[in-house]
Chains A and B, each alone.
Chain A
Amino acid sequence: MISFNHVSKRYAGGLDALSDVSLTISAGEIVLITGHSGAGKSTLLKLMAAIEVATSGSVLIGNQNLAKLKAAALPYLRRRFGIVFQDHKLLYDRNVFQNVLLPLQIAGFDGRDAARRARAALDKVGLLGKEKAMPITLSGGEQQRVCIARAVAHRPAVLLADEPTGNLDDAYARNIVELFRAFHQVGVTVVIATHDHGVGEQLAARTINLAHGRVAA
């Protein structure tokens, strides 16, 4: 499903975020990417969704080499992912329901179907009662769950989550990790980047540990 071959990423300014990373994630797998902050976890996820471009090596999604992806095909690649952003990236000028509706509108679902799917996603994260609320009035954990609902609303094949439990109380964090487990159980490929050891203990999933931009043993 996802395959990295000797991938390196150097940011402008000379920072090597990833060096010679090779890994494979199969369809339907749940994988943790761990490591201290600055180890390159976020960069790894960004390379998967073609938000960043590898400096060298190749990233394959399905059988698609991202380096050869045409700009016009990029949006359709992104729709195969659901992304839980580290900083949520919720839109604060619209309510929870409209936030979750956005990927469905982008993917071209018609109004009624889109609304049904958005409610289903909100139901899954336990926020159906808050669909009319504005994101700013929600707690950090609730905002995180809105972000997850938005990521899964269009039923992506792959769920990418960047520090999904960052800044959350343990109880909230456990709750969110259970959500990811549930998505994995219905066949979604799940990749979670986290520095939270609790997540690893709870999931007992395959773990790829990064240190200084390299895959550590």
Chain B
Amino acid sequence: MSLRDHGRALRDAAARLAASPMASLLSVLVIAVALSLPVGLYVGLSYLQSFSRQLSSDPQISIFLALDASSRDAAGVEERLRSDPDVNEYRFIGREQALSELKRGAGMSDVLDNLKQNPLPDAFVATVRANRPEALERLRDEASGWPKVAHVQLDSEWARKLDAALRFGRTAVAVLGALLAAALVAVTFNTIRLQILTRREEIEVSKLIGATNPFVRRPFLWFGTLQGLAGGLAAWGVVALALRLLNRDLARLAALYSASFHLPGLSLPDVAVLLGVAALLGWLGAWLSVARHLWQIGHE
């Protein structure tokens, strides 16, 4: 099993792919669709997941004071936060500051400018040591009872729910991916089966004049691998194109909210994994097919 033999088998496989361009194109297309679907969903989900991780990585507790709370009331709440052993950091956000931040933030300046008075209360944002969930919950329960505290909110809760939902989504994508990977193997299996049928004579003669099984298998294995690789490249193209189109629409949508969202493309390691998996599945399909059908030829 030398490099020369592999080179020859690879050239043979490439020539056969090129010899029937329409059939090859259709197989590659099927593989591309089977791969791009889970890959595309995966990209979308990982974007959402990184987004939710960012939000939930540092769970915060927001303590909103009543609108009629005075600065003395605020100082009282601050004193309680300072003396609480679980509180790591806290930050006071005055109502004027909150309003100006909101105006800068999310395209609501028009609405806010029309307001006669500031509807926002003073607030504290606190984090707890080591982000312990029990400490967060205790603080939420206690702070609700403090004088002039109107509302206490655990900011991380919705992000955690999103994270859990995304976890579910990822599992669903993994299941879908596994099914489509099986489809890819099946497509390759069948392509190679047809190849073996049309090259049956060549296989028989080769074996009669001293070809080893690896010699006979090699071109088919390369064929499956190349076809899978081509399918992987096509899937990469499909995903890149889809992301371009989605990002264009997403940019329009985000502009309406004065925000900016952008789905990141596949990273180089992602692409490497995609191509590697595609080639490997192609090889596997070819191997199964060759093992099955060459055995048949040998036992008739």
A residues apposed to B, CB below 8 Å: 49, 51, 72, 75-79, 81, 83, 85, 89, 91, 93, 102-103, 105-108, 110-111, 150
Q: Which of A72, A79, A93 contacts B210 (CB 8 A)?
A: A79
Min Cβ gap B8→A in Å is: 6
Q: Are A89 and B205 in contact, CB atoms less than 8 angstroms apart?
A: yes
Min Cβ gap A33→B in Å is: 19
Min Cβ gap A208→B in Å is: 23
Q: Are A91 and B201 in contact, CB atoms less than 8 angstroms apart?
A: yes
Number of residue pairs A-B, CB distance < 8 angstroms: 48
Q: Are B4 and A106 in contact, CB atoms less than 8 angstroms apart?
A: no
28 CB < 8 A contacts A-B? A51-B208, A72-B212, A75-B207, A75-B210, A75-B215, A78-B207, A78-B208, A78-B209, A78-B210, A79-B209, A79-B210, A83-B209, A89-B201, A89-B205, A93-B202, A102-B206, A103-B209, A103-B210, A105-B8, A106-B211, A106-B212, A106-B215, A107-B210, A108-B2, A108-B4, A108-B5, A110-B4, A150-B209
Q: Which of A72, A93, A106, A108 contacts B209 (CB 8 A)?
A: A106
Min Cβ gap A154→B in Å is: 8
Q: With a CB–CB cut-off of 8 A, which chain B residues contact A75?
A: 207, 210-213, 215
Interface string of B209-242 (1 = CB under 8 A from A): 1111101000000000000000000000000000
Q: With a CB–CB cut-off of 8 A, which chain B residues contact A72?
A: 212
Interface string of B3-35 (1 = CB under 8 A from A): 011001000000000000000000000000000
Cα-based distance from A78 to B211 in the complex (angstroms): 8
Min Cβ gap A37→B in Å is: 22
What secondary structure prevails in chain B residues at the interface with A?
Answer: helix
Min Cβ gap A87→B in Å is: 11
Min Cβ gap B220→A in Å is: 16
Chain A residue with the shortest CB-CB distance to B202: A91
Chain B residue with the shortest CB-CB distance to A103: B209
Q: With a CB–CB cut-off of 8 A, which chain A residues contact B206?
A: 102, 106
Ranked nearest first, the 7 interchain pairs of A and B with the lowest CB-CB distance are A78-B210, A79-B210, A75-B212, A106-B211, A75-B210, A103-B209, A89-B205
Q: With a CB–CB cut-off of 8 A, which chain A residues contact B2?
A: 108
Q: Are A91 and B205 in contact, CB atoms less than 8 angstroms apart?
A: yes
Cα-based distance from A149 to B28 in the complex (angstroms): 40
Q: Which of B244-296 contact A (CB under 8 A)?
A: none
